[in-house]
Amino acid sequence: RHVACGEPFPWNLRTGAAGVQLAELGLRSWEERRWLNVPELPE
């Protein structure tokens, strides 16, 4: 949609990396049956 409308893409690489990190931690949390802290991504 952003390409067709000429709008900027709403997310960047850092936002995508945060999403992947959260998904991986969610799976690990489920496997280990415990809460996990979500660390800050490096700059």
Burial 7-38 (b: 16+ CB within 10 A, else e): eeeeeeeeeeeeeeeeeeeeeeeeeeeeeeee
Write down the pLDDT at residue 42.
87
Contact criterion met (CB below 8 Å) for 33 and 27: no
In a domain, 5, yes or no: no
Per-residue pLDDT reduced to its tens digit, 27-39: 999 999 999 999 9
User: Is the per-residue pLDDT at 1 higher than 70?
Assistant: no
Q: What's this model's pTM, rounded to 2 decimal places? A: 0.74
In a domain, 18, yes or no: yes
User: Is the per-residue pLDDT at 7 higher than 90?
Assistant: no
Domain count, the chain: 1
User: Is the per-residue pLDDT at 4 higher than 90?
Assistant: no
DSSP state of 36: -
Which residue range forms the structural domain that includes residue 25? Answer: 13-43
Write down the pLDDT at residue 10.
84
Given the structure tokens 């960047």, which residue do they identify?
Answer: 12
In a domain, 1, yes or no: no
